[in-house]
């Protein structure tokens, strides 16, 4: 899974995201929202499922895993953090993404964290704040 904050659901913003993050030739399944026309051009294969919203959209089998994942993200973030601020959203999403993508190798997670912690030099707070705008 790849979780990124976008500035809005506009055609230009989704095109920018697609160029950075979606591999050419990928199959993209969407709910037909206008901004997802960014995937109507090669090198993507775009499959639309117009659901109209409401209960019918949640029960569409094409979105089963997406809906499950979004529910898990919401529960993980709201269950972990007492206050959620937009400025910290990239870090919250990155943490969930990291754990989700490595969920099948839980034994290696702690040694991996320790290795990264040992290799990472001290970082002043002002440098940490710079990362917020690039996430």
Per-residue confidence at 129, pLDDT binned at 50, 70, 90? confident
Residue-wise pLDDT tens digits, 64-104: 888 888 889 889 888 888 778 888 888 888 888 888 888 88
SS3 content of the chain, % helix, strand, coil (to 5): 60, 5, 35
Instruction: Answer whether residue 4 is part of any domain.
Output: no
pLDDT at position 24 is: 92
Higher pLDDT, 124 or 129: 124
Contacts of 70 (CB under 8 A, 6+ apart): none
Cβ contact 92:135 at 8 Å:
no
- Answer yes or no: is 33 within a domain: yes
Mean pLDDT score, 11-32: 91
Whether 10 has a pLDDT exceeding 90, the answer reads yes
96: in domain: yes
Q: Is residue 128 part of a domain?
A: yes
Q: What's the domain range around 56?
A: 11-132
- Assess if residue 82 is contained within a domain: yes
The pLDDT assigned to 87 comes to: 80
Residue 135: pLDDT band with limits 50, 70, 90: very low
Answer whether residue 1 is part of any domain. Answer: no
Domain membership flag for residue 2: no
- pLDDT given at position 131: 63
Confirm whether 3 is domain-assigned.
no
Q: How many domains does the chain have?
A: 1
């Amino acid at each position: 899974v790849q979780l990124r904050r976008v500035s809005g659901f506009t055609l230009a913003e989704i095109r920018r995201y697609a160029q950075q993050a979606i591999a050419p030739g990928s199959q993209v399944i969407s709910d037909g929202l206008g901004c997802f026309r960014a995937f109507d051009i090669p090198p993507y294969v775009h499959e639309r499922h117009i659901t109209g919203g409401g209960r019918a959209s949640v029960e569409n089998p094409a979105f089963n895993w997406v809906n499950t994942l979004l529910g898990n993200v919401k529960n993980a973030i709201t269950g972990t953090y007492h206050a959620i601020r937009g400025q910290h959203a990239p870090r919250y999403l990155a943490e969930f993404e990291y754990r989700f993508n490595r969920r099948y190798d839980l034994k290696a997670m702690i040694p991996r964290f320790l290795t990264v912690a040992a290799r990472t030099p001290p970082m002043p707070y002002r440098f940490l704040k710079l990362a917020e705008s690039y996430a």
